[in-house]
Amino acid sequence: NCSRTYFGVFGMRLMPQLVSGIDFATRKIANLLKTRKVIEQDGDVFTFTTVSSLKNYKSSFKLGEEFEEMTKGLDNRKCLSQVNWVGDHLVCVQKGEKKDRGWTHWLEGDELHLVWSTVAWEVFAVQENA
């Protein structure tokens, strides 16, 4: 079971050569945010909640099923997303107005890693007593 709460070890690291379509203000704010991520798992159903001082984002999905997602507060896109296990990585493929988007989560010890496909990466550590 993957249910846990994690806090950001450092802010989002945007890959400068790959952020076309993400406005300047959003990029600057993303680099400064301290985030907390809550992952809840009930069988094949996951709920990811990302909490920050600026905006909260919540996404629920069932593994292997495509769902409509509005990434409001992130990069403000409407897309069809599908999440699956690929080895020990939880991989989301997103189809929509921007190509090659999605994310990958995996654990290394007590750290949760998140890579936003072609855009950014973050590292979270387990939050004790959450």
What digits encode the pLDDT tens for the residues 94-106? 898 777 778 888 8
Residue 123's pLDDT is: 64
Domain total in the chain: 1
Rounded-to-integer distance, Cα 37 and Cα 35, Å: 7
Per the CB < 8 A criterion, the answer to whether 83 and 104 are in contact is: no
Instruction: Report the relative pairing of strands 111-116 and 120-126 from DSSP bridges.
Output: antiparallel
Q: Which domain holds residue 13?
A: 4-126
The average pLDDT across 67-90 equals: 84
Instruction: Report the relative pairing of strands 120-126 and 4-8 from DSSP bridges.
Output: antiparallel
CA distances for 8 relative to 20, 92, 97, angstroms: 24, 20, 29
Mean pLDDT rounded to a whole number for the chain: 79
Find the CATH number of the domain harbouring 62. Answer: 2.40.128.20
Residue 42's pLDDT is: 96
More confident residue, 115 or 82: 82
Residue 17's pLDDT is: 47
